[in-house]
Amino acid sequence: MALAPSLHSLVHSTAVTILQHDLPGLPEVVAQEVATFTVRRLGVLATHMRLGVAAIALFVRLFASIAGQPRLLWLSKTHLPLLGEYFRLIRSLSYAYIWEKWPDTRSDGSPA
């Protein structure tokens, strides 16, 4: 039994929400695969970085569960230190994976 929430449970749904908002044409199956890839990449960070990401992810998940998804999207546009970097990290890993694996993907996320 794990005492702390896993990185997957903290980051995956946030990544999917951001992908669905930023790339509305992205198929659900692809969004799930990309979010899983993002979590896997975050899982291989150095321990101290992974702990920092997990702490920020925990705050973001708590915020999303209290304030709702529209506020999560609002928060994702913040320029606050660490919070802004967290969302930028998710976006950069996700976008790089999408356009590396499916190079013909359109700018709205729909397949070519």
Digit-coded pLDDT (tens) for 6-65: 899 999 999 999 999 999 999 999 999 999 999 999 999 999 999 999 999 999 999 999
With a CB cutoff of 8 Å and minimum separation 6, the contacts of 26 are: 19, 20, 34, 98, 105, 108, 109, 110
Residue 107 lies in a domain: no
Task: Evaluate if residue 93 carries a pLDDT over 70.
Answer: yes
Q: What is the structure's pLDDT at 112?
A: 84
What is the domain range of residue 82?
Answer: 7-101
With a CB cutoff of 8 Å and minimum separation 6, the contacts of 19 are: 26, 31, 34, 35, 94, 109
Residue 32 lies in a domain: yes
Sign of CA dihedral 104, 41, 49, 76: positive
Residue 84 lies in a domain: yes
Residue 83 lies in a domain: yes
Q: How many domains, in total, are found in the chain?
A: 1
Residue 112 lies in a domain: no
Residue 42 lies in a domain: yes
Residue 54 lies in a domain: yes
Average pLDDT rounded to a whole number, residues 85-98: 97
Could you give the residue ranges of the DSSP H alpha helices within 1-112? 7-22, 28-43, 47-67, 69-75, 83-101
Residue 67 lies in a domain: yes
> Can you give 58-79 as a three-state secondary structure string?
HHHHHHHHHHCHHHHHHHCCCC
